[in-house]
Structure 1
């Protein structure tokens, strides 16, 4: 992501309604009319265009009817005057313009016509004829699914693989939720105006927006004063929360994590959580598992303590000794798993609940700020008694619902993970497609449990854990994303919790 703006502007995320309500006023406070603001927007997009293709390149500029289209017409004029080969396409080609209209978008369109730039129907644009496509069709104004001939055009454009420069938000992406509305353009670069729209960073959006450039148009700081963001991005390394270790510390100083899971035949998840907790700096790590798994788990990491637990009462001394619990990795959905889950939930120790722990929580709910829940969309759907499609259609709303319903610290995992916690609502737009493999969630649960054990508050541990887990995934998968394993993250996590910042 690129921005030259303040930390707060880089962090703050807004919904479309806020931009529509206050962007003109922010421009006024900055000393600009709406027309001048549109000219600045067009200029910002044109400057990005110049970085992508050289003068003389063939460019198709595709414009809608609103202000987003107005930005596109300004780009078309600037590109034409600079010597680019410009073809202009419009959603409503050759529409009659009122000569008395002073709307900036109409004036920008009229200026293009006066230069002899002929408008053709949008769906006549054949992407392969051009070096670059500029998408100025809908922006934040999209209110209905992209269907019919327009959807066919979007599919053909994406299939062509011609680079696309999107203005504000790629056509077909919901600016508030990040979901696809029918069909959506895949852009290589998105230049977004004044402030970040929250939907650019989560859901399906990360696969469509490409590199994001924030053009605040000189109005961003004024917009911040007018509108409060409900969500913020995590943009700074949270190492200061942990800090350096004191010279006289010992293993007891840094907490005791108890991993509870590994039902019959399922040792792997608990092993990954165990190793992550050790590498993240927990002073001591124990595993409570089904007796059949003791040997295999103990053989994986001699530094951990592994206990076979046949019945819930055998957990008591382990639960009393633990600083934090990680409940669920490989726990199972049988009677043994449920009884072990119940025993864990009966103590007041801070708990990270993942995997089968979330399954049992949905059946037998508990509400506490001492719970840290780490669901993926399918698990979130079970917790909220809906379906996965509902979750992905509005990830922000459902992350808040999980927090409010369970009174817990929540991360809704996925591209653009969402954290709803007592520290506020945060989005982490780090991570990599390399992380699309089994065991990543177990690694995250162990990492968070270790951070709690070392003294971070539950909401802090969740935020730091999700951030470092995502960065570790980026580093592990940077050169060879396919085949990246959760265990590949372990040495990187060790470096991150010691203050390392990747270049």
Structure 2
């Protein structure tokens, strides 16, 4: 039986993510590989649900299980039967559908009834007290707002005092992209099966998934042989990109980075990007900025090489640099536009952020040597759509940006997405609400630019940079909480994640 330490260990989640349209095929092929039926697979899902709820809430005696008219409901019926046999007080409320119940779910329902269980209609009054509510209403096939009878049950569950445990996915959350077109369960815990789905990790997922758990239903070995089209990355994978440095290495080995931006009045943005690049391990960082910013930046961070942005200084820096970052505080005056035009002529690895993206939206181009790091508003301008359209399908937006602009795209937000024109896609499963503050994007640009100069490909640098950035914010929040977090607070924790061997020693 799974213990609580295993349940609460985030590293127990797989690093692969599968699109929703592939899940049914995975189930069939996996069951065939094991020589079991789909009903046996459903039994495993129901048993996993029962065991997880029992491990998390051993003292809860009165279970209310909400079953939908599909296979998700079948998982609920099986969990109900096991809970009843374990001496729990179990109430099952089920929704009716216009079509017949699927074959496997029918078998699960009949087994529940044969065990002496009862099924109550969706409009049945709830028990006066329930200790735990199990949401087995809607599964991963949802692509629209839940119907009225489902919505009423979802809203009632959210209003109850008992915690909610979601089976496979919180009802109302779209597994394909993390949107919530209507009512959605706010779960304390979610147990998903077979594979992680994108909607559990991005979009509105963090508002409703709670603690995410995973169970492969015995398909672990078979799944290990399958190649997933998407990846989930957290701090535990940083060692693959950031090995310990050789004792004989010198600053020239770790990248020469030029950062361009900081028009008059925006010294803070370019300073944060420059310091982030240093904190992430860049060997040398040169900042080209407005003349008014030179003295304040040198005073605040003397390790930066700071110069006034001029044609001559820019030509020299572009020749000198291994990697270019442009955009933080750049503005949209001719001063910034002229610099961007020169940068466009370089074939060196580069990152565009902030005003560089706003200028790109006006005069777009496509290139392979660039990372762009838009937030949803900037992404909307780049694709000439509304921000709501970006948020309605973040995966599609990231892919569209990569197709239109080339190179690598980092679509920032809860569950940041990293996509390349080559088709690679990853979700950075790190970070928290404390990052919703000014300057976080400037810090991220410095980190990614720095890692690109440390022999990582643009895609690897984007993935590693997003993970280190978000993981540092998690470490800050564990000490100080999320409200009031500043972008520069991350510097105190970033060391741990760009030197992941330290984390391994602590473990």
Q: Please, what TM-score do these two structures have when normalized by structure 1?
A: 0.92
Structure 2 CA distance, aligned partners of 1:124 and 1:364? 60
Q: Which residue of 1 aligns with 2:344?
A: 345
Stretches (4+) displaced over 6 A: 1-5
Alpha-carbon distance between aligned partners in 2 of 1:340 and 1:12, rounded to the nearest angstrom: 40
In 1, the alpha carbon distance for the partners of 2:330 and 2:102 equals 66
**Is structure 2 residue 215 aligned with structure 1 residue 215?**
yes
Is the Cα–Cα contact under 8 Å of residues 128 and 162 in structure 1 kept in the other structure?
Answer: no
Per-residue deviation at 1:90?
0.8
CA shift in 2, pair 1:370/1:70, >3 Å: same
Q: Distance in 1 between matches of 2:7 and 2:407?
A: 33
SS in 2 for 1:40: helix
Contact 1:127 1:162 survives alignment (8 Å) = no
- Structure 2 partner of 1:384: 383
Q: What does residue 169 of structure 2 align with?
A: 169
Larger displacement relative to structure 2 (24-33 or 348-357): 24-33
Provide the residue aligned with 1:327 in structure 2: 326
Question: Residue 137 of structure 2 contacts residue 150 of structure 2 at CA under 8 Å; is this kept in 1?
Answer: no
Tell me how far apart the structure 2 counterparts of residues 211 and 120 of structure 1 sit (CA, whole Å): 29
Gaps of 5+ in 2: none
Deviations 1:352-398 (CA, angstroms, capped at 9, x unpaired): 11111111111122322210111111111111111211111111111
SS of the counterpart of 1:238? helix
Matched, 1:75 2:74: no
Distance across 2 between alignment mates of 1:147 and 1:240: 45
How has the CA–CA distance of structure 1 residues 497 and 144 changed in structure 2, closer, same or farther, with 3 Å as cutoff? closer
- Aligned pair partner of 1:27 in 31, 39, 50: 31
Secondary structure in structure 1 of the residue aligned to 2:218: coil
Q: Distance in 1 between matches of 2:264 and 2:6?
A: 48
8 Å Cα contact 1:203/1:392 also seen in 2:
yes
Normalised by the length of structure 2, the TM-score is: 0.91
TM alignment of 1:457-468, pairs within 5 A: 457-468=457-468
- Structure 2 partner of 1:481: 482
Using a 3 Å threshold, how does the CA distance of structure 1 residues 245 and 20 change in structure 2: closer, same or farther?
closer
Q: Aligned partners of 1:2 and 1:141: how far apart in 2?
A: 29
Q: Is the 8 A contact 1:282 1:450 kept in 2?
A: yes
Question: 3-state DSSP class of the match of 1:170?
Answer: coil
2-side partners of 1:359 and 1:276: how far apart?
A: 22
Cα pair distance change 1:297/1:464, threshold 3 Å: same
Report the Cα offset of residue 92 of structure 1. Answer: 1.8
Q: Distance in 1 between matches of 2:359 and 2:281?
A: 29
Q: How many residues align?
A: 496
1:39 is matched with which residue? Answer: 43
RMSD over equivalenced CA pairs, Å? 2.6
Partner-residue secondary structure (3-state), 1:325: strand
Deviations 1:281-323 (A, max 9, x none): 11111111111222222221011111112x4454211221111
Separation of aligned partners in 1, 2:414 and 2:484: 18
Corresponding residue for residue 303 of structure 1: 303
